[in-house]
A and B are shown apart, each in its own frame.
Chain A
Amino acid sequence: MYVVIVGCGRVGAQVATLLSDEGHNVVVVDKKPEAFHKLGASFNGLTIVGNGFELDVLRQSGIERADAFCSLTNGDNTNIMASQVAKKIFKVKRVIARVYDSARAHIYETLGLEVLSGTVLFASMIRDKLMDKRLSSFLIETGDLGVIELEVDEKMAGKVVSDITLPNEFLVCTIVKKSDQHGRDIIMPLPDTHIDKGDRIYGIVRIGSIDKVKKMFGADQA
């Protein structure tokens, strides 16, 4: 893929190096030439000094044939402007903007921009680590759903997946069997798959139903 990255700070440089190492064609744009020192030694893409929302600079970066674009500077408004230029003027298919301010992130998301807010993501990761270390609420961007890990106790042993599915509240996605002697056995379950004591279940849960699901598994006392 041909990827244009605006902003060569720590995040921008890391993304640029990752993608370059994977063999993608990467062009990085930054206002300051010294920013490019952060690029790893293995980086073999191009660097352009300039303002990331200026049309001439972007044309020079080859944006007209880019498959993807992301704006990762530390200025929310710069990222918002640059990514809209990429999306609406240059019609780049895949465009991502980094926006710190959660209020602005939310508004621009509803306006159809693909926004990643480090603040929001990081806050929910920390929340999960502190409160429910077996829940990841940040994997699913809407914030309504989370991924939860549960352990099967005696009470639940012997049931089948359809017994523990709560329509629109909890859906079992994967079962990691304990019984397997060769290490772990990972199953994509069917409604009639049995669960045994010691199995670990990964499921999608509606955030409002977490307590109900935990109670079902007897995990609410912990």
Chain B
Amino acid sequence: MYIIVAGAGKVGHFLAQRLLEDRHTVVVIEKNKDVCQKLAQTLNLIIVNGDACEPRFLEEAHIERADVIAAVTGEDEDNLVICQLAKEKFGIRRTVARANDPANEHTFNELGVDVPIDATKIIAKIIEEEVSFTDFVNLMSFKRGKLAIVRVDLNDDSPAVHKNLNELVLPPDSVLVSIIRKDEVVVPKGNTTLEPGDDIIALTLVENEQQLLRALIGDLK
């Protein structure tokens, strides 16, 4: 794929490196000349020294060939404008933007960014998961926050324990994706029996999340 990365800070640099390793064609656009020079010394790719918010630098990066653009500068308003220009002026189908401030993820969604990524929230989620003793963690949301992958940990008094999956009444548009039992991954089938200590990974519409939790672990405290 032909991928444009706008912004070569820590995130942009690392992202470009990963994409190169996966044999994509990567062009980086970066405002700061020193940063460009440093990047040129470490990675073998095309670098455009300019402000990606200006259409002429996007043209210089041959945006007409690009499949995806990732706007990962440290300024949210710049990331939004880069994605909007790519989409509206140059017809790029897939735009990814980093939201530095978690508050802007929703705004990005509303204003047409295909994939807003809130790094702060993702890191906080992972940390939360590692330190938390709760039975339920939202691992990831997508489709503009309508759909989520969640992890639910069953314990002895969960209502779903010792039941076969086909006995469970799950809300519509919720699917159990896998069961992690000790270190094994069990693919759920109708005759699978749930056990205490199982971690269930489920895909659900966010509006049905509470119903799903009630079916698996009872009312939340």
Stretch of A14-22, A31-39, A52-60 with 4 or more beta carbons under 8 angstroms from chain B: A52-60
| A107 with B55, Cβ < 8 A, contacts A77-B75, A77-B78, A81-B76 known | yes
**When A and B form their complex, which 4 residue pairs have the shortest distance between CB atoms, in order from nearest?**
A77-B77, A81-B77, A77-B81, A78-B77
Interface of A toward B, CB cutoff 8 Å: 53-56, 75-78, 80-81, 84-85, 88-89, 101, 103-104, 107, 111
**Of A77, A88, A103, the contact of B110 (CB 8 Å cutoff):** A88
Q: In terms of DSSP, what is the predominant structure of the interface of chain A?
A: helix
Instruction: Give B70-106 as 1s and 0s: 1 = Cβ < 8 Å from A's Cβ atoms.
Output: 0000011110110011001100000000000101101
B56 within 8 Å of A (CB atoms) = yes
B54 close to A81 (CB less than 8 A) = no
Q: Is the CB of A81 within 8 A of B89?
A: no
Q: Is B44 positioned at the interface, with any CB of A under 8 Å from its CB?
A: no
What 10 new A-B contacts, CB under 8 Å, besides A81-B76, A81-B77, A88-B111?
A: A56-B103, A77-B53, A77-B81, A80-B77, A81-B81, A84-B111, A85-B111, A103-B55, A107-B89, A111-B88
Cβ contact of B80, chosen from A55, A81, A103, A111, cutoff 8 A: A81
Q: In the complex, are the beta carbons of A104 and B103 less than 8 A apart?
A: no
Q: What residues of chain B lie closer than 8 Å to A104, measured between beta carbons? A: 53-55, 81, 85
Closest to B108 in A: A81
Determine the residue in chain B with the shortest Cβ distance to A101.
B54
Q: Report the bound CA distance from A81 to B185 in whole Å.
A: 45
Which residues of A are found within 8 Å of B88, using beta-carbon distances?
A: 107, 111
Asked, given contacts A103-B55, A104-B54, A107-B88, whether A80 binds B81 with beta carbons under 8 Å apart, the answer is yes
Closest to A75 in B: B77
Which listed residue (B76, B85, B101, B110) contacts A107, Cβ 8 A? Answer: B85
